[in-house]
Structure 1
Amino acid sequence: MKLRTKLIITFLILILGPVMFTALAFFGISRYQMKTIKKLYGVESASYETLSNTPAMLNRITKETYTGMEKKAESDPEAFEDDSYLQSVNLELEARYSYLVIRIGDAYTYVGSDDATRQELLDALPDYGTHDSKQDVGTYVGGDLQALVKQMDFELSDGTEASAFIVTSISSMLPEVESMFVDSVLVLVLILIFTSLILTAWIYKSIVTPIHHLQVATKKITDGNLDFEMPVGGDDEIGELCTDFEEMRRRLKESAEEKLESERRNKELISNISHDLKTPITAVKGYVEGIMDGVADTPEKQEKYIRTIYNKANDMERLINELTFYSKIDTNRIPYTFEKINVNAYFADCVEELSLELEEQNIELAYFNYVDEDVQVIADAEQIKRVINNIISNSIKYIDKPKGYINIRVKDVGDFIQVEIEDNGKGIATKDLPLIFNRFYRTDASRNSSKGGSGIGLSIVKKIIEDHGGKVWATSKEHTGTVMYFVLRKYQEVPVT
């Protein structure tokens, strides 16, 4: 859920939630209080309107007493001169926050309250006959009195006019009604607190917790620690930020690991090149000293020494060229000069050059060409020759038979020409075969080995062939030999329409 959606939901819950729950609570509380009022005061069919209207409510709670007084006035009007009867009626009215006043003629014969405003109230009571006794609706008396007066006029048996008044204080609210409003306010406060706590916890979990994780993660990265995992966030904006942060951390870690690995490989390369340069340099120095000291005292020995020095110089040049070319690979700055090359002529020249070198090393070279005379490829002649020389050099290093051989086969395979270079060396183990084109990988890791090599020759082969739009692979059988394959796309004329 998006953060914007969460905030909208939070706003709606804060507005609608308390209103809805308070309405439900008010409904429940008021229903309970109305039942209580009915039970205590005998008020029938109390409604929300009467509960909220104090005069109407107070008018109804004395209705039963008023009706009883009317019946008494009709049957026994002299009872209103009986103090015991009046006292009982007044006690009943006191339970309803009211009291009784009796006026016979012009004199007040009974007043059920000794309130300080008693005389002021008596002066404000209406005269006989000013109220319709058939209705039990009270008359409001304002000012400081704030009272509801219900008047009942009747005559004694001797014809004396008399009035009975039920006086109810409007300033006081029924405790049940007051309790209802207090409870409603209390429930509203509790609902607001409860809703706020829930929403705060929700927002805290959605916003503050992920931000805390981001702070901790940022501190770890600042300290150089990338070995941790950022907790997965939700599907909101902050969750997406956490996900992006974790992706950034992962890439930073990979970059750091690649940098360390690159540094390790560069050190290994320098070590390999240094080791492999030391051997021919030592040999060159030895043969030069032999010439200087007169050890090569015959023309044959001198020629042998000079040829050996020349060959060792070539080995050093090859190693330096590999190192130079490797730096170009690392920066993707290999200089290619693509041109149309006739396959038959090109590979015939390559084999002719190789045959002289291999003959000196007692290695038999066989060449088989199965491609038509006019087949051409688009390639860089110098770089393809580097590919062939690197593969041949690698094969020579690992030929362990008294009589070595290398077969070169060029085949037509549809849209491609396929070159196969086979040797009878010691072969490559199955577990090593998928790794031989990786940089710095050497099946013989011992630097005491006589094989030498920088470990980048076949990786250069792979890079060049892939840049030509081809691919390279190998098959091998231990103690039997290895076959290296690479393919180049044939040049085909585009027909003119």
Structure 2
Amino acid sequence: MKIKTKLIISFCIIIFVPSILAIATISAYCNFQSHVIEQTYGIKNADAYSIINSVPLLNRYTALDFEKIKKTIRLSPSKMEDASYLTEINEDLKQKYSYLIVRIGEKISFNGGSENEKILSELPGYGENSSRHGVDKYIDRDDEILVKQVDFKLDSGEKCTAYIVTSFDATGQEIRQFIVWGIICVVIILLLTAVMMIVWIYRSMITPIQKLRVAAENIKEGNLDFALDTQGDDEIGELCTTFEQMRQRLKDNAEEKLSNEKENRALISNIAHDLKTPITAVKGYSEGIMDGVANTPEKLDKYIRTIYNKANEMDTLINELTLYSKIDTNRIPYDFAKLNVAAYFKDCVEEIGLDLEAKGIALSYFNYATPDTQIIADPEQLRRVINNIIGNSVKYMNKTEKFINIRIKDVGDFIQVEIEDNGRGIAQKDLPYIFDRFYRTDASRNSATGGSGIGLSIVKKIIEDHGGKIWATSKEDSGTTMYFVIRKYQEVTANEQNTDR
């Protein structure tokens, strides 16, 4: 869920949930209060406004008593002078937090409960009630009262007034309790809503941020060996995913850097080891010449040829090192050209054949491709591939009768070159790694099979840069076959060009 969506939901929850719960709570409490009022005072169907507003509610408390007094006045006004009758009515009113007062002329003839002279003095006189229902509200500094007033005349014609006085102090307690409970309910609802929102936001936002902070601390300390939980599809989840990808990339780069440093150290060590042998030989034979050990023309010629061969070995190692540095920075210079397969490989075989013949190795060449087959390749670099593979084969020859077979095959869109030897072969455990940089199956690095360990990795890089592929099969004590494929050159006709357009 996106953060924008969460904010919208949070806004709706904050606005609507408390409102709905508050309305539901108040409605339930009003129904409860209405039920209590009905049981206590006999007032049915008391609405929420009557419960909250004391005036209409108090007015309904004594409505029946007021109608009874008015009926008595209408039928027999003289009963309003009967103290026992008035006391009976007053007892009923006391149960409703009210009392009766009767004034005859200017004199209070019956006082059912008021001891406040100010209230008695402020009661409206005959004909002074302003309410059409005979109801007035009076506010005293110590008391708030509701007065119901009915005016009448005795048989003697004397003006009289009957008052039903209801005190807010008694009934207001219930109203205040209702308001307090309403406020408490609203506060509880708001607190619960706030807690829900805080927990939700904390779990969905703060917790991932805390994880990001811990992850950043780990990276700052150089610790990349951890995994960041990337659950969630919101912006923070996407940030966590990106952060985890960054951590993995940093870890891969760090591991690659360590691996490169290890390989570079291995290269330096290998080159130093492999250069030491020919340099030692050059130095030794040179000293032999200077000391006069080579005192015959034959010995002198042998010493000079040995020095020359060792210098060639060093030159080869240095060239490989130079080429390796270009491979490492992807700066191998290529000069691609269209080559006829039959002519190109025939020249290569003739050149290689002379060297192999001198070393007592038989070379067989088979071309199964058509004479007009062509490829696009760099002739110099492709020759380097062939020379490196054959040089590797020669290095590990251990048979009395030695041979190398070169086969050229047409395999659809590619030309496949196979170079087979009958050397000592490669163990199956080593076969997957022979094209890795600095990998050598001969861990001892003796002078007979020395080398930088980057020859086949250079071969693989060149073939892949030509859009091809290289692999090998081998069997120990039987020999090895190297395979590589180069894409054929195909003419594009005018019709094909128009079709492509």
Q: TM-score, normalised by structure 2?
A: 0.90
What value does the CA root-mean-square deviation take over the aligned residues? 2.6
1:469 maps to what in 2?
467
1:82-124: CA deviations, max 9, x gaps? Answer: 54543443343233232210123443111121024233224x2
1:163-207: CA deviations, max 9, x gaps? Answer: 321022457753333222221111111111111111112222222
Match runs of 1:164-313 below 5 Å:
164-169=162-167, 173-313=171-311
Which stretches in structure 1 are left out of the alignment for 5+ residues?
none
Deviation at 1:20, TM superposition (A): 0.9
Verify the 8 A CA contact 2:362 2:402 in the aligned structure 1. yes
Verify the 8 A CA contact 2:34 2:44 in the aligned structure 1. no
Aligned residue identity for 1:446: S
Which stretches in structure 2 are left out of the alignment for 5+ residues?
496-501
Verify the 8 A CA contact 2:149 2:163 in the aligned structure 1. yes
Deviation at 1:146, TM superposition (A): 5.4
Deviation at 1:435, TM superposition (A): 1.9
2:96 maps to what in 1?
96
Tell me the distance in 2 between the aligned counterparts of 1:202 and 1:357: 80
Tell me the distance in 1 between the aligned counterparts of 2:399 and 2:228: 57
Aligned residue identity for 2:270: N
Verify the 8 A CA contact 1:421 1:484 in the aligned structure 2. yes
Mean CA deviation greater in 69-78 or 246-255: 69-78
Matched, 1:328 2:326: yes
Tell me the distance in 1 between the aligned counterparts of 2:288 and 2:370: 52
Tell me the distance in 2 between the aligned counterparts of 1:137 and 1:272: 119
Aligned residue identity for 1:44: K
2:109 maps to what in 1?
109
Deviation at 1:160, TM superposition (A): 6.1
Verify the 8 A CA contact 1:63 1:136 in the aligned structure 2. no
Verify the 8 A CA contact 1:147 1:169 in the aligned structure 2. yes
Match runs of 1:30-179 below 5 Å:
30-70=30-70, 80-111=80-111, 112-122=113-123, 124-127=124-127, 138-141=135-138, 147-153=145-151, 162-169=160-167, 173-179=171-177
Tell me the distance in 2 between the aligned counterparts of 1:35 and 1:474: 96
1:446-468: CA deviations, max 9, x gaps? Answer: 33574222221111111101111
In the superposition, relative to structure 1, how do residues 262 and 83 fare at CA in structure 2: closer, same or farther (>3 Å)? Answer: same
Matched, 1:12 2:12: yes
2:375 maps to what in 1?
377
SS at match of 2:330: coil
Mean CA deviation greater in 266-275 or 152-161: 152-161
Tell me the distance in 2 between the aligned counterparts of 1:194 and 1:68: 51
Tell me the distance in 2 between the aligned counterparts of 1:366 and 1:434: 27
Verify the 8 A CA contact 2:228 2:244 in the aligned structure 1. yes
Give the fraction of aligned pairs with identical amino acids, expressed as a percent: 56
In the superposition, relative to structure 1, how do residues 421 and 339 fare at CA in structure 2: closer, same or farther (>3 Å)? Answer: same
In the superposition, relative to structure 1, how do residues 177 and 146 fare at CA in structure 2: closer, same or farther (>3 Å)? Answer: closer
SS at match of 1:117: helix
Verify the 8 A CA contact 1:406 1:422 in the aligned structure 2. yes
2:335 maps to what in 1?
337
SS at match of 2:428: coil
Tell me the distance in 1 between the aligned counterparts of 2:18 and 2:445: 80
In the superposition, relative to structure 1, how do residues 340 and 98 fare at CA in structure 2: closer, same or farther (>3 Å)? Answer: same
SS at match of 1:332: coil
Deviation at 1:65, TM superposition (A): 2.5
Deviation at 1:351, TM superposition (A): 1.8
Tell me the distance in 2 between the aligned counterparts of 1:253 and 1:331: 21
In the superposition, relative to structure 1, how do residues 405 and 455 fare at CA in structure 2: closer, same or farther (>3 Å)? Answer: same
Matched, 1:24 2:24: yes
Tell me the distance in 1 between the aligned counterparts of 2:68 and 2:395: 129
Tell me the distance in 2 between the aligned counterparts of 1:411 and 1:235: 54
Aligned residue identity for 1:472: I
Verify the 8 A CA contact 2:147 2:163 in the aligned structure 1. yes
Tell me the distance in 2 between the aligned counterparts of 1:275 and 1:481: 27
SS at match of 1:225: coil
User: Which of 460, 483, 499 in structure 2 is aligned with 1:485?
Assistant: 483
SS at match of 1:473: strand
2:440 maps to what in 1?
442
Deviation at 1:419, TM superposition (A): 1.2
SS at match of 1:447: coil
